[in-house]
Structure 1
Amino acid sequence: MSTIDTEKSLEDRIELFMMRNFPQIQMHGGSAAIEAIDEESGEVWIALGGACSGCGISPMTVQALKSRMVSEFDEINAVHASAGMDGLGPASDDDFSDVPF
């Protein structure tokens, strides 16, 4: 079970999780946004933007998001993430890794 308040919506809990676990994203000029959540399948789509787009360590950030979110939230089975968000809208589906953790 998640250690984050289970009375909040899954989206709220994921946003809180990202703020608490990945403050370095914002400190380095990056951003993270929830693109979509499918609670039925347990899938979450996250997009990293700002300085994360094109950053050499963004693949490590993506892997950390995937592994930590799946272990933190019982209701999440797979996280799809990209570092292609440019602030102009959602990243294309081609940018998402489909490897569930």
Structure 2
Amino acid sequence: METDTESESESLERRLERFMRRNFPQIEMHGGSAGIDAIDEGTGEVWLTLAGACSGCGISPMTIQALEARMVTEFDEISAVHASTGYGFEERDRSDLSDVPF
């Protein structure tokens, strides 16, 4: 059985999208959405945005923590995940986004 991290022929972005749909269906079930804004394969950083009902949701910080922890653990290529809830990237993630590739 092939896992998300075993499919070398598929792009990292495609594997991450499939990972999020499979492991975090509650985001869409509750009226939210999660999308990949950018991936820097050189540094292993990923930028995500949670939108829809996630914007302003009281548990979105926990969802972000779960996404970060699982992605870094399950994908060797990923070293850091930066996430926003539609209001801009969290201050703890990165204050200067001028070099973000999106």
TM-score of the alignment, normalized to the shorter chain, above 0.5: yes
Structure 1 CA distance for aligned equivalents of residues 91 and 50 of structure 2: 11
**SS in structure 2 at match of 1:44:** strand
> Counterpart in 2 of 1:41?
43
> Counterpart in 2 of 1:92?
88
| One-letter code aligned to 2:41 | E
CA-to-aligned-CA distance 1:47-85 (integer Å, 9 cap, x gap): 00000000000000000000000001000000000112x
CA pair 97-15 structure 1, distance change in 2 beyond 3 A:
farther
Structure 2 unaligned residues grouped into runs of 5+: 95-102
Percent of aligned pairs with the same amino acid: 66
Alignment of 1:25-36 (within 5 A): 25-36=27-38
Structure 2 CA distance for aligned equivalents of residues 18 and 64 of structure 1: 11
Structure 2 CA distance for aligned equivalents of residues 96 and 76 of structure 1: 20
> Counterpart in 2 of 1:80?
82
CA shift, 1:10, in A, is 0.3
Which portions of structure 1, spanning 4 or more consecutive aligned residues, are displaced by more than 3 angstroms? none
| Matched-pair contact (CA < 8 Å) for 1:70–1:77 | yes
> Counterpart in 2 of 1:58?
60
Structure 1 unaligned residues grouped into runs of 5+: 85-90
> Counterpart in 1 of 2:23?
21
Structure 2 CA distance for aligned equivalents of residues 6 and 21 of structure 1: 20
**SS in structure 2 at match of 1:56:** coil
Among 68, 71, 74, the alignment partner of 1:69 is: 71
Structure 1 CA distance for aligned equivalents of residues 34 and 48 of structure 2: 7
CA shift, 1:96, in A, is 5.8
